[in-house]
Structure 1
Amino acid sequence: MHICFITSEYPKPGYPHGGVGTFVKIIANKLVEFGHRVSIVGINYENKSEEELNDDLKIYRLKPKNYKGITWFLNSKSISDKIRQIHNNEAIDIVESAELGLAFIKKQKNIKYIIRLHGGHHFFAEAEKRKINRWKGLQEKRSFKKADAFIAVSKYVKIHTSKYLSYHGKPVRIIKNPLSIEKFKPDSNIPVNPNKIVFAGTVCEKKGVRQLILALPYIKKVNPEAEIHIYGRDWFFKDNTSYINFLKKNTLPQIGEHMKSVFFHGPVSYDKISEIYAGAKLCVFPSHMETQGLVAPEAMAMEKVVVFSLTGPGPETIVHQKTGLLCNPYSPEDIADKVNWALSNPNKAESIGKNARAFVVKTFDQEKIIKENIDFFNELIN
């Protein structure tokens, strides 16, 4: 079987990427291990075309076209042309994209087109308290009409997306994001800092990092030595203003002297993130909204106590005080309450960590998840 992923986020050395890029890298390499061919097609970070052509994994980074008003059309055409070229040489069975990815792609005969629900424009609009952008909304609706099937990474994203967009009676399968239980496992060789609270992910408003910072004074009332360590790429406002700079200028001053206990470390490679979790006492991801996310299950697989959001798919991922803790992501006081509980109940926390790994092994194991994807692909093809 030959699967083609449309994404411009596939990890490239020297450039930050988000969860979609990490996901595609994981699933692409595992599909190759299972004997399938994979192509990745997207727009390059640099102003040139590049190709990495291995036996069964081929990455095509296309030169970006920047012409005011029609950039979207020209880049989509480049992707469509490349997919057609690949298909003519090595027949493609499945093309997969995120929510907006099929809007202006020209479909080829004998290919099944899938949208994987990573969290589209409509999905996040509510959580970010913003109106639907008319242009992006139209693109997403157009993209959904073209899809032959959908994969939802959680029950929540399937149901919530259906409030705004139609699946047009096409198949929708819930398949979790895959996770390497061998890569993410307890590591006794790395000492745990008893005061270290770790956040990992894109540093932006919807990830709840501002509320986590504001929770620190409440945390320090019970645990005065606590520190917050923030790992992840920066996010930028429309005027290109850095969100991290926004936090340093506007949020840190609100916590006064406690600002000295907040550390920004920048992006961390996928290969190193497990070491960050290993050194943490607990991990806190108070996202306002997620489709599923990778960071919470990753940290849980390492037997860390995870404080996750009670919104969105949080309850699908964590049973409160059994496999982790759920917090109100909009309330610094509630985030602090859950953190303080974990730090003040070490025996219960240890039990939660072991339960968390057992749950992740059962639910997110790569081998199991990849087989579910392959089975679904085969159903569509046949």
Structure 2
Amino acid sequence: MNILLVVPRLNIGGAETYVVTTAIALQQLGFTVSVASGGGMLAKHLSERGIKHYFVPIRFNTSFAAYLLERIIRKNNIQIVHANSAAAGIAAVKVKQRVNAAVVYTAHGVFGHNAQEMTLNQCDKIICVSEFVRNYAMEKGFAADKLVTAYSGIDLDKFKPDKKKAVVIRKNLGIPEDAFTISIVSRIKNLRNKGHSDILKVLEHYSGAQNWHLMVIGKGKGLWKLKYHIWKNKLSNRVHCLGHMANVQEVLDGADVMVLPSNFETFGLVLAEAMAMEKPVVTYAVGGTPEVIDHERTGFLVEKNNLAELYHRLCMLADNKKLRLIMGQQGRKWVENHFDSKEMINKLVDIYQRVGR
């Protein structure tokens, strides 16, 4: 079976990580896999593994993207096109009628907001990354028999804690060995979407957080504003911007806790990644996040925009190393039982075989 995975770009992000994990796993199972995207740091990572990458500017114009996808599909006798964004799905649907290939769409976000997105109902199967997304799609009028929930999986061989690294990571960043350290991993579109502003407010305004440190992993057009805010509020010695990292597991050992006070998440892959690294997680209870963590066992769900509660939960973890250890161990087991990439790939292969022509 020849499979083409399509995603707008290959930088840091949930959909991008999903595509890379899927491509590598399918290749290991013996499938012929290629990827089409607008490029990014992870494209080189795939090429180094012998996975062909095609440059297709998905978001530039879906009709032009469909034209390029058709050429790739015909040239490589592609049987399954697996789209990973609404734009990619729309382009794949446009070409579907002209080629003998099935279209699978993984909805990493909510969809069905306009006439173009409603054409995604023409996909052979729509994979939802959470029950929240599936229920949202049904409310929008998508066919229930085309919708299936399949949680994003974590490569547990890749995301494996190594506590010996913590000392080295902290030394390199200038973080005291005994300082309570939080991490946040996300694309930085602005300071609101993923909650960077909220965690900075906690560091600035709560007296108990005056010695805490924060590791910021990710980049985006909001990074300059973040750095200015850090400088203006004299947080430079406690907030460490690491930029974009393709392998975030290389630095997560240096943190005690992962925080993600987002305005909205359909799943929150970084939460599962942190739990796989035996880190407790603290996140706002929005969208699909209640499906990712086991509240009060692997981390804490906090009411959206409730800074006092966010601080309280972080304080509980800052003041109790044993609690962090127990929650971290329970988090690892939770991911092993619910978000193993092997289980995700098994579900994908089953879907491919059902819709394949």
**TM-score per shorter chain, which class?**
0.7 to 0.9
Residue of structure 2 in register with 1:129 after alignment = none
Residue of structure 1 in register with 2:225 after alignment = 246
Q: Secondary structure at the match of 1:197?
A: strand
Residue of structure 2 in register with 1:216 after alignment = 203
Deviation at 1:119, TM superposition (A): 0.8
Deviation at 1:285, TM superposition (A): 1.2
CA distances 1:320-378 after superposition (whole Å, capped 9, x unpaired): 21111112342332221111111112222211111100000111112222111111221
Deviation at 1:312, TM superposition (A): 1.3
Q: Would you say the 8 A contact 1:197–1:284 is kept in 2?
A: yes
Partners of 1:261 and 1:378 lie apart in 2 by 51
TM-score for both structures, normalised by structure 2: 0.85
Residue of structure 2 in register with 1:59 after alignment = 53
Deviation at 1:118, TM superposition (A): 0.7
> Aligned pair in 2 of structure 1 residues 63, 258: CA closer, same or farther (>3 Å)?
closer
Residue of structure 1 in register with 2:243 after alignment = 266
CA distances 1:149-200 after superposition (whole Å, capped 9, x unpaired): 110111111112333x332354211111121112112202212543221111
Task: Output the aligned Cα RMSD.
Answer: 2.8
Partners of 1:215 and 1:91 lie apart in 2 by 50
Q: Does 1:106 align with 2:95?
A: yes
Q: Would you say the 8 A contact 2:280–2:328 is kept in 1?
A: yes
Aligned match for 1:348, one of 308, 323, 334: 323
> Aligned pair in 2 of structure 1 residues 329, 64: CA closer, same or farther (>3 Å)?
closer
CA distances 1:62-100 after superposition (whole Å, capped 9, x unpaired): 47997xxxx4432332223322332xxx34244434222
Q: Does 1:119 align with 2:119?
A: no
Paired amino acid for 1:146: Q
Residue of structure 2 in register with 1:226 after alignment = 212
Aligned match for 1:188, one of 160, 163, 177: 163
Query: Which consecutive residues of structure 2, in runs of 5 or more, have no partner in the other structure?
Result: 168-176
Deviation at 1:246, TM superposition (A): 2.8
Superposed counterparts of 1:30-109, under 5 Å? 30-44=25-39, 57-62=51-56, 71-86=61-76, 90-104=77-91, 105-107=94-96, 108-109=98-99
Residue of structure 2 in register with 1:299 after alignment = 274
Q: Would you say the 8 A contact 2:215–2:242 is kept in 1?
A: yes
Superposed counterparts of 1:318-337, under 5 Å? 318-337=293-312
Query: Which consecutive residues of structure 1, in runs of 5 or more, have no partner in the other structure?
Result: 11-15, 123-131, 237-242
Q: Does 1:156 align with 2:135?
A: no
Identical-pair percentage:
23
Q: Secondary structure at the match of 1:264?
A: strand
CA distances 1:89-116 after superposition (whole Å, capped 9, x unpaired): x342444342222324311454221110
> Aligned pair in 2 of structure 1 residues 308, 57: CA closer, same or farther (>3 Å)?
same
CA distances 1:234-254 after superposition (whole Å, capped 9, x unpaired): 1x3xxxxxx12333446875x
Q: Would you say the 8 A contact 2:7–2:58 is kept in 1?
A: no
Q: Secondary structure at the match of 1:106?
A: helix
Partners of 2:50 and 2:251 lie apart in 1 by 32
Q: Secondary structure at the match of 1:102?
A: helix
Paired amino acid for 2:141: S
Q: Secondary structure at the match of 1:181?
A: coil
Partners of 2:137 and 2:324 lie apart in 1 by 34
The farther-off stretch of 301-310 and 23-32 is: 301-310
Superposed counterparts of 1:113-152, under 5 Å? 113-120=103-110, 137-142=114-119, 144-152=120-128
